[in-house]
Amino acid sequence: MRFAVRPGGTLRGSAAMPGDKSLSHRALILGAIADGVTRVEGFLEAQDTLATLGAMRALGVGVERSGATLRIDGVGRDGLTRPEGALDFGNSGTGLRLVAGLLAGQAFPTRLIGDESLSRRPMGRIREPLRAMGARIRTSEGGTPPLQMEGAKNLLTGIDYEMPVASAQVKSCLLLAGLYAKGVTRVREPAPSRDHTERMLASFDYPVERAGSCVALEGGHRLRARAIRVPGDLSSAAFFMVGALIGRDSALRLEGVGVNPTRSGVIRILRDMGGRIAVHPARDAAAGEEPVGDLVVHAGELRGIDIAPELVPLAIDEFPALCIAAACASGVTRVRGAAELRVKESDRLEAMARGLRAIGVEARTVADGIDIHGGAIEGGTVDSSGDHRIAMAFAMAGLRSREPVVVEDCANVATSFPCFAGTAAALGLRISQEERG
């Protein structure tokens, strides 16, 4: 599949974003091991989250789905059962890493697999601390999937782990393993990462302690089922925020989007670049829930900046979209401290630099970042490297290009935003979606 975007276009109107992917994964996993029935509204219907849903069903959890609404019949802390075969997570690194933590302390063995892209992603970062807790886990020789989890029920012990790199996925994996460990599991971060797991555990009445850069929990407590409303995904909204900022005379209202402060670095960065973005609270955060707001964005002139390294972990998934904003800004935008982008669905630093050069924008990578010289976008053909976020980012570049922008290899957009092209077209992007034989 490829996207073809004709030059020009203006984004106007209002739209709701699909449900937050990170929260949809976590609602499934925690609802599965809670006591009672968890009801989820706003669940993201995309390949990544449906892979996690399939894994929960394979582990013996009853899940009924009606569109974006779920009923999860929790089996309790100790009620998961051995699946008949391997758990296939497709392209979902979040699903695989989080469920690996959940399975580390079970009584049965499990094999976790993924597609070709996921099978290249590093798992040593969860393997080593899980082993330190007593888990029996094996990866490929290169430290990538598949993962083989052997039963380690009653063998896990809490650890005090200092993470070398801020990562919400690693932190969440260890906290989920900590639910089954003796004693206290403490995870210390070098910089803040999204705190969705801590918030949601608290909303399930599981005691969690947070102090500065440390989050801790004691194993052995139980989770109480609850109703969850998943807000719109800020990572999905980021493409439209950038599109509204760079599109001539654009004005958008993105409704009901999660604006968790450990996740909203993209808003802070775009505002630092001169972006006109207002956040109107939609409802208060309570009982561990996420803060939610309506984002109102107007077109304007952007300027290049040096992005503060401390903001990088708070916007790690939004950098493809931010690179398009930088391409349309006056001056140079510099990113450092972003080596984590090299181990996503693709090497996003190199993929973005190649794509920017393909449409006439000067871009140069360094080991942990990228320099982008803002200017005119000529247009051309971009290889998305099968990365959903890169595909959607370059689609927005057509708003400012002189010639059409064609983005190849876009099928993976279905992993996070299946209706992206339709939503974008309805708001004014001149986009068509083409199947290729």
* Active-site residue, selected from the candidate residues 115, 317, 371, 387: 317
Q: How far apart are CA 129 and CA 161, in angstroms?
A: 7
- Does the annotation count 272 as an active-site position? no
Question: What does the pLDDT read at residue 285?
Answer: 47
Residue 144: closest CA among 163, 117, 122: 122
CA 82 to mean position of chain CA atoms: 28
Do 234 and 259 contact (CB within 8 A), yes or no?
A: yes
Q: How many C-beta atoms lie closer than 10 Å to residue 425's C-beta?
A: 15
Question: What does the pLDDT read at residue 344?
Answer: 79
Q: How many C-beta atoms lie closer than 10 Å to residue 132's C-beta?
A: 13
Residue 324: closest CA among 352, 343, 300: 352
Which positions ≥6 away from 399 have C-beta within 8 Å? Answer: 5, 8, 9, 10, 11, 243, 246, 247, 248, 250, 429
As a three-state string, the secondary structure of 172-209 is HHHHHHHCCCECEEEEECCCCCCCHHHHHHHHCCCCCE
Residue 271 has pLDDT above 50, yes or no: yes
Q: What is the signed CA dihedral for 307, 309, 313, 317, rounded to 10 degrees? A: 30
Q: Is the dihedral of CA 49, 52, 54, 57 positive or negative?
A: negative
Question: What does the pLDDT read at residue 284?
Answer: 53
Q: What is the pLDDT of residues 353-411, one digit of tens each?
A: 999 999 999 999 999 999 999 989 999 999 999 999 999 999 999 999 999 999 999 99
Question: Going from the N-terminus, what domains does the chain have, and what CATH number goes with each?
Answer: 2-19+231-434 (3.65.10.10), 21-229 (3.65.10.10)
Q: How far apart are CA 392 and CA 3, in angstroms?
A: 9
Residue 235: closest CA among 317, 295, 312, 319: 317
Question: What does the pLDDT read at residue 340?
Answer: 87
Q: What is the separation, in whole angstroms, between the first and last Cα of the chain?
A: 9
**Element containing residue 29 per DSSP (H, E):** helix 21-32
Q: How far apart are CA 153 and CA 135, in angstroms?
A: 9
Mean pLDDT computed over 263-284: 92
Q: How many C-beta atoms lie closer than 10 Å to residue 144's C-beta?
A: 16
Mean pLDDT computed over 31-51: 97
Residue 192 has pLDDT above 70, yes or no: yes
Do 299 and 251 contact (CB within 8 A), yes or no?
A: yes
Residue 63 has pLDDT above 70, yes or no: yes
